[in-house]
Amino acid sequence: MIKFKAKYALTFMLIMILLLGACTPQTGTNVAPPAKTPDQTQQPAPQPKPEDEKEPEPAAPQADYSAIKANENGQIMLLMYHGIGSKEEEWVRTPENFRRDLENLYEKGYRLITLKDYIENNIKVEAGFTPVVITFDDGLQNQFNIIEENGEKKLDPDCAVGIIEEFKKKHPDFGQGGSFFVYYSNPFRQKELIKEKYDFLIKNGYEIGNHAYTHENLGEQSAEGVQKALALNVKSTQEYLPGYDVFALALPYGIAPKDEKFQYAVSGEYEGTKYNNRAILRVGSNPAPAPNHIKLDAARLPRIRASELKMGGTGIYDYLASFEKHPEKRYISDGNPNTIVIPEKEKDNINKDSIKDKELITY
């Protein structure tokens, strides 16, 4: 009996000691649970943005307007090219001379924009620089040529598109653009590649414009003839690019429909196909007004021939020299697409209705 009581007491003491030990606070180092790695850390799932909500463009730092001589009501060159070939001619530029044109434009502070950005007053050019538009008429093969090398198709480095693409790689700040005014039935003269070429152009920031259906002289057409020529061009382009906005016309031979028929150069319809040319380009021989200038007439835009032969003082290098001598006539960007900055003396030359949601600033 005594042994049983002693054994019971010893067991009771051991249990008490264990209980007291479990209740005593620990004074050693606390061990935290292992930290989660970045992959393990739970992050809130990103919420999709509404389709109509766009990221706001970062505000450009305000330039010193006087220092850069900002004038967003100055003149802009719309350059007109035709062929790119081995021999320099009145309507043909050699690859070497076309490269030289691009180099000169770049070095003299010109930056490439699209024709649509010009007519829609959506010019995004770095402060102190001048926009320039490049256009090509006729849709020739030497403007956009695909060659085969070692069994693979590649862009001809000496065609217009090949030269521009290479120049953009060398100077990514040059901008992008280039409008090709084509006619049918075989634009760029490689019929099996029309779709492939069109897709490449649109993907890489170029534009496709109207040059009538078969290069008709619109000055010799009836009202129906004008509409047929322009609507069939649009219809043909949209067969390759469904829904594509053919917004501009380069007049074949530089000749517009006469008198009251001119309205059909702007808009019309033929056999269910409608068109609306928000820009009509002439051959011309001088720079175009700025988008907000009171003299802007988007239905009669002048172009400058990118040639050095038979120019009579109205070619690309004549105007490059003129703008060097008279920089006050040249469009110079303030770097902010949301403002129109002009010298005080230009304020009477602004079409205020065209400003819309932009801010007009004079200095």
**DSSP one-letter code for 286:** S
Mean pLDDT of the chain: 89
**pLDDT in the model for residue 42:** 43
**DSSP one-letter code for 75:** B
**pLDDT in the model for residue 47:** 52
Span 179-188, pLDDT tens digits: 999 999 999 9
**pLDDT in the model for residue 53:** 54
**pLDDT in the model for residue 83:** 98
Contact 128, 332 (CB under 8 A): yes
Distances (CA, A) of 273 to 217, 257, 277, 339: 20, 19, 13, 38
Range list of β-strands (E), the chain: 77-81, 83-84, 92-93, 110-112, 130-137, 146-149, 152-155, 179-182, 207-210, 248-250, 267-270, 273-276, 279-281, 304-305, 339-342, 359-362
Which of these, 276, 361, 279, 2, lies nearest to 115 by C-alpha position? 279
* Strands 77-81 and 130-137, sheet pairing: parallel
Q: What is the DSSP string of 22-70?
A: HHSPP-S---PPPPPPTTTS--PPPPPPPTT--PPPPPPPPP-HHHHT-
Is the per-residue pLDDT at 34 higher than 90? no
**pLDDT in the model for residue 57:** 57
Distances (CA, A) of 311 to 89, 100, 286: 12, 18, 11
**pLDDT in the model for residue 61:** 73
Span 67-120, pLDDT tens digits: 999 999 999 999 999 999 999 999 999 999 999 999 999 999 999 999 999 999
Span 274-319, pLDDT tens digits: 999 999 999 979 999 999 999 999 999 999 999 999 999 999 999 9
C-alpha angle with apex 200: 196 to 204, nearest 5 degrees?
Answer: 175
Is the per-residue pLDDT at 17 higher than 80? no
Is the per-residue pLDDT at 19 higher than 50? no
Amino acid at 41: T
Structure tokens at 290: 């700025």
Which of these, 207, 300, 285, lies nearest to 255 by C-alpha position? 300
Contact 342, 324 (CB under 8 A): no
Instruction: Please report which confidence band the pLDDT of residue 32 belongs to, taking 50, 70 and 90 as the band edges.
Output: very low
First-last CA distance in the chain:
114
* Structural domains in the chain, sorted by start: 76-329 (3.20.20.370)
Is the per-residue pLDDT at 11 higher than 70? no
Q: Which of 6-15, 89-98, 246-255 has the lowest mean pLDDT?
A: 6-15
pTM: 0.84
Span 41-62, pLDDT tens digits: 444 444 555 544 555 556 567 8
Residues of 129-157 as b/e, b for ≥16 C-beta within 10 angstroms? bbbbbbbbbbbbbbbbbbeeeeeeeebbe
